[in-house]
Chains A and B, each alone.
Chain A
Amino acid sequence: MDGGLKLIEELRGICGDEHVVTEHHALRTYESDGLLQYAAVPRAAVLPATGDEVAAVVRACHTAGVPWVARGSGSGLSGGALPLEDGVLVVLSRLRRILEVDLDNQRVVCEPGVTNIAISAAVGPSHFYPPDPSSQIVCSIGGNVAENSGGAHCFKYGFTTNYVCGLEVVLPDGSVVELGGKELDLPGYDLCGVFVGSEGTLGVATKVIVRVVPTPESVRTLVSFFESPRHAGQAVSAIVSAGVVPGAIEMMDNLTIGASEAMAHAGWPLDAGAALLVELDGPQAELEATFDQVGELCEKAGCSEVRVARDEAERQVFWKMRKSAFPAMGRVSSHYYVQDSVIPRTALAEVLERIDWLAREYDLQVANVFHAGDGNLHPLVCYDGHAEGEAERAEELAGEIVVACVEAGGSITGEHGVGVDKKRYMPKMFSEADLDAFQKLRCAFDPDGLANPGKVMPTPRLCGEVPGPYREHPLEKAGLAERF
């Protein structure tokens, strides 16, 4: 890190000594995000307090030619906020003010460190912010913007990208731009739309404007139990084909039910092959007309039992079962590897069969939790991290599952992002020409490759001048990177 000490002095000048962390032991707090398989200690972590300070920090990094990574709450599951050992980590947790609640226009303006749940709390109970990742109590809206986060209710309501209408962004050269606004369809390119989900590689958002909507009048939730996930999958298809759009449809397999039951104590049958949680929300009158139909469709698909949540308390227990799935899996297995692949919903039976076959082949257990409505699978590959070679085998199996999903017409990631974890699978889904097109966008925002380099793209790529004379970059000369 050339001139590194000078840069750290500058960062101290911008944020104050106490907000620049350089001690190794203190920096270890930030060595991983929610994906603990990867760790790296950055050269420094800075905690700016305002958007102006963020811009000054990024500008100083740009001048020094030092790469940086932005981090929100650090709950991401793809290593998107994994620090760079020779870089600066920009921690946004002090930017946590809600700047404006404009309920009249159904907009909230906030800083990136505000938690997802705080937005709904600020506009409730009359309104809410629909995208609801399972980590919503801790995850930040800035992180949601970076990852285009989903959640259990996005089958009906859509994703972060459908609710973010404006951003203030610090570009990698330290300049500040406004993308979009409170208004929709502003003239010119939808740079706000393309920034959402760009995983911190195009810049860092310092202000986020989101759309909030009226809270549904009524919510009704049921769970039904099936012999297998395949049977539950048939119920999902029947419900969707009937024209019902549930707020959420979540599926858990036998292994997951067992694990969650030990934690949430909902009294669900431990011998069920699958549990299907269906939630309808909307106008009371409409729910009365359609809710019974959902139960009937589950019965027709061969479920052994339908349980309707009698009150809000029971509904919360149902959801606790679902939301406990990841942490509860710790009781089944000392380690597990979470996947986030997506398949066309109709390919569910075929892909599950393939996953079962792969699990037997690798002699490992795979638990399955799905956002069943939109075909987003979260296979949890269980392994013992202390048994020699098992972690590697688990990773390999997880990779095979990803490939199976892509081959079925799906995606390598539905909501967790590519980050470092899935970048090697990008070529399974995208051709060189596709990756080149991505790189064009990247180069427009970050020609020097300073914002979160090494994430998303499978191989390092550089940006040429546009248009202009050709100059060979040292990395290119060494055969370590290609030019675009």
Chain B
Amino acid sequence: MDAAGVAAALREASGVRVVAGGTKLGWGRPIEAPELSVAELDAIVEHNVGDLTAILQAGCPLATAREAFAAEGQMLALDPPDDGATIGGVVATGDSGPLRHRYGSPRDLVLGVQVALPDGSLARAGSKVIKNVAGYDLAKLMSGAYGTLGVVTEVSVRLHPKPREWLTVVVRRDDPRALAAAASELTHRPLEAERLDLRWEGDAGAVLVQLCGASAPERAATIDGEVVKDDEELWAAQRAAQRGPVVLRVSSTQQGLADVLGAAREHGALCVARAAHGLAWLRFEAADAELVTALRARLGACVLLDAPAALRREVDPWGPLSAEPLMRRVKARFDPYDTLNPGLLLT
């Protein structure tokens, strides 16, 4: 099915579950609807090497794109845990990994989208150049909307040069406050780190600072920590901790992370966090609605990602939405008959 086919199918559909790689179907409220898959739309449409841009069909696996870009010394700076995730799914869920530190999330890297709408139209917004302010930025609206406003069929993205040299400095602390303070100090230094993460596991934690470029060893020497040159496993572990039996994503602040780490220790959760962005993922072996509610009261906005369907029925996986009436108005204009992932985000 091509993009026009997706749009045509939407016009006829009364309710669909939008699927690409199918790796995040356990996120949001559990829903039942026939699947509409964009997995077949898996091409790299353009890789404009000289312009550091690319156009990908929604079903293109991140791994495939990564390999193609790496062959030219470039990268799409998105490194969420993938296991077969596609660019469409990553954009739709706004998922991100440790590279978020320097390059932002999908919304920051997507230059334009083609989107199939429930009225059967196929619309584009944005462009394929890295600077553009013409028209509304619907790429931002679609990023993180979980396919509830339109089905993204194609995205254009900005690429970056792939670093040639790198290393990671690990700074260990066994107290959440001391760890958060160490991260804060590093966050406020002009280190130009590629990645800057926190990790708390059991009774101890670490700040992980990845530095790239020819001067990485020299800059690393200014940080009191252990230098790890072969750092691939460290970062794979950071990404892996964003998935699990129960995972809560916490939108906090830099200073709020001390409390998030404290909560992780108290509840025996594994925590990874983007120190500069105040974002944390709490991974539990098991959790109940009461715990989710208590953590929201204590830490602020927490979105329940991975979790058994029963838990996602018992507790709202999203928590309170700011400007919810306006969100409903946007939904009503784009998807007036609740065709797209009905009930997944707004009920």
Which residues on A are within 8 Å of B, measured CB to CB?
A: 104-107, 126-127, 147-148, 150, 154-155, 158-159, 161-162, 171, 177-191, 193-194, 196-198, 214-217, 237, 240-241, 243-245, 282-283, 285-286, 288-290, 342-346, 371, 374-376, 409-418, 422, 426, 429-431, 433-438, 440-445, 456, 466-467
- Of residues B115, B138, B333, which shows the largest number of chain A Cβ atoms within 10 Å of its Cβ? B333
Report B-chain residues with C-beta under 8 Å of the C-beta of A198. 136-137
Report A-chain residues with C-beta under 8 Å of the C-beta of B132. 342, 410-411, 413-414
- Of residues B125, B132, B330, which shows the largest number of chain A Cβ atoms within 10 Å of its Cβ? B132
Do A410 and B94 have beta carbons less than 8 Å apart?
Answer: no
A-B contact pairs, 27 of them (CB 8 A): A148-B133, A162-B108, A177-B322, A183-B278, A189-B149, A196-B140, A197-B136, A198-B137, A214-B188, A214-B190, A217-B190, A245-B161, A282-B190, A289-B213, A344-B51, A409-B129, A411-B134, A413-B132, A431-B123, A437-B115, A437-B138, A438-B125, A441-B333, A444-B333, A445-B326, A466-B333, A466-B336
Do B94 and A185 have beta carbons less than 8 Å apart?
Answer: yes
Least Cβ–Cβ distance between B28 and chain A, in angstroms: 10
A344 nearest in chain B by CB position: B51
A214 nearest in chain B by CB position: B190
In the complex with contacts A411-B129, A426-B135, A183-B184 CB distance below 8 A:
no
Extra contacts, 8 of them, besides A189-B141, A416-B133 (Cβ < 8 A), are A178-B322, A184-B277, A188-B322, A190-B140, A342-B132, A346-B51, A426-B135, A434-B123
* B291: interface (CB < 8 Å): no
Do B322 and A440 have beta carbons less than 8 Å apart?
Answer: no
B 48-93 contacts with A by CB, 8 A: 48, 50-53, 73
In the complex with contacts A185-B144, A194-B141, A374-B130 CB distance below 8 A:
yes
B 297-347 contacts with A by CB, 8 A: 300-301, 303, 318-319, 321-324, 326-327, 329-330, 332-334, 336-337, 345
Report A-chain residues with C-beta under 8 Å of the C-beta of B12. none
Query: Which of B169-177, B245-253, B263-271 forms part of the interface with chain A?
Result: B245-253
B148 nearest in chain A by CB position: A189
In the complex with contacts A185-B279, A216-B192, A161-B137 CB distance below 8 A:
yes
Report B-chain residues with C-beta under 8 Å of the C-beta of A184. 105, 251, 277-279
Report B-chain residues with C-beta under 8 Å of the C-beta of A181. 322
Choose among A191, A215, A412 the residue that contacts B134 (Cβ–Cβ < 8 A). Answer: A412
Do A413 and B192 have beta carbons less than 8 Å apart?
Answer: no
Q: How large is the interface on B (under 10, 10 to 19, 20 to 34, 35 or more residues)?
A: 35 or more
Least Cβ–Cβ distance between B109 and chain A, in angstroms: 10
Do B124 and A194 have beta carbons less than 8 Å apart?
Answer: no
Do B333 and A344 have beta carbons less than 8 Å apart?
Answer: no
Least Cβ–Cβ distance between A338 and chain B, in angstroms: 15
Report A-chain residues with C-beta under 8 Å of the C-beta of B321. 187-188
Do B218 and A285 have beta carbons less than 8 Å apart?
Answer: yes
Do B144 and A444 have beta carbons less than 8 Å apart?
Answer: no
Report B-chain residues with C-beta under 8 Å of the C-beta of A443. 333
Least Cβ–Cβ distance between B246 and chain A, in angstroms: 17
Report B-chain residues with C-beta under 8 Å of the C-beta of A430. 124, 134-135
Choose among B143, B256, B319, B336 the residue that contacts A190 (Cβ–Cβ < 8 A). Answer: B143
A430 nearest in chain B by CB position: B135
- Of residues B184, B189, B215, which shows the largest number of chain A Cβ atoms within 10 Å of its Cβ? B215
* B117: interface (CB < 8 Å): yes
Do B318 and A197 have beta carbons less than 8 Å apart?
Answer: no
Do A466 and B131 have beta carbons less than 8 Å apart?
Answer: no
Least Cβ–Cβ distance between B321 and chain A, in angstroms: 4
Do A194 and B137 have beta carbons less than 8 Å apart?
Answer: yes
